[in-house]
Amino acid sequence: MIWPTICNLKGCSTFRPNPQLERSERGQCGVDAPHCCMLERELDQEVAMKIESTTFGAITIDGTTYQHDVVVRLSGEVVKRKKKLSKKLYGTSHVLSKDEAKFLFENGCDQIVIGSGQMGNVHLSPEAEAYFERKGCVVLLKPTPEAIRIFNRSRAKRIGLFHVTC
């Protein structure tokens, strides 16, 4: 497993410091093993995965390219987005419906990262927004390239939905 080299939590500078570095260069904790933030993720059986890139119509996650919208579950499992749940109500998949919000949410999730497309066309319906608010789940809605960066850096218990076209 390749450990990330940067930890932005609690002032630490690395997950796995180089033992040849001076203690002062290791970060505030000076730990020679993976930091607690990564260990907590492993204890929750959350898979350390990475969304590598996106282009119009595709997204690459852990070396696999998907040519459709995807949802990344709390477990790290990648599933196809059920955009029909929104399309049947609004006639478009660019408005996320409450039904799709219910499909997206999982107990234990405290953050939803939504990639709103390459040009940022997807948005939440008022009902979906209210649903996530009632669940106490923070929603970050950004164009897909920016959402990927946020998702990869986040240490929250998060779910991602990524729209890969407009």
Residue 80 tokens, joined: 């196809």
User: Scanning the structure block, which residue is given the tokens 């196809």?
Assistant: 80
How do the pLDDT tens digits run along the chain, 166 residues long? 333 334 443 343 333 333 433 333 333 344 333 333 333 333 344 456 899 999 999 999 999 999 999 999 999 999 999 999 999 999 999 999 999 999 999 999 999 999 999 999 999 999 999 999 999 999 999 999 999 999 999 999 999 999 999 9
Cα(106)–Cα(10) distance, integer angstroms = 27
Q: Which residues contact 51 (CB under 8 A, 6 or more apart)?
A: 59, 60, 61, 72, 148, 151, 152, 160, 162
Report the SS3 class of residue 110. Answer: coil
User: What would the CATH number be for the domain defined by 51-162?
Assistant: 3.40.1230.10
Cα(109)–Cα(104) distance, integer angstroms = 10
Residue 96 tokens, joined: 């996320």
Cα(45)–Cα(2) distance, integer angstroms = 17
For residue 91, the 8-state DSSP code is: S
What is the b/e burial string over 16-53, where b = at least 16 CB atoms within 10 angstroms of the residue's CB?
Answer: bbeeeeeeeebbeeeeeebbeebeebeeeebeeeebee
Cβ atoms of 137 and 102 closer than 8 Å: no
Report the chain's C-alpha Rg in angstroms.
Answer: 18
Among candidate residues 100, 94, 109, the one with its CA nearest the CA of residue 165: 94
Q: How many helices (H) and strands (E) are present in the chain, helices listed first?
A: 5, 10
The answer to whether the predicted template modeling score (pTM) of the entire model surpasses 0.85 is no
In the chain, where the domains are located: 1-43, 51-162
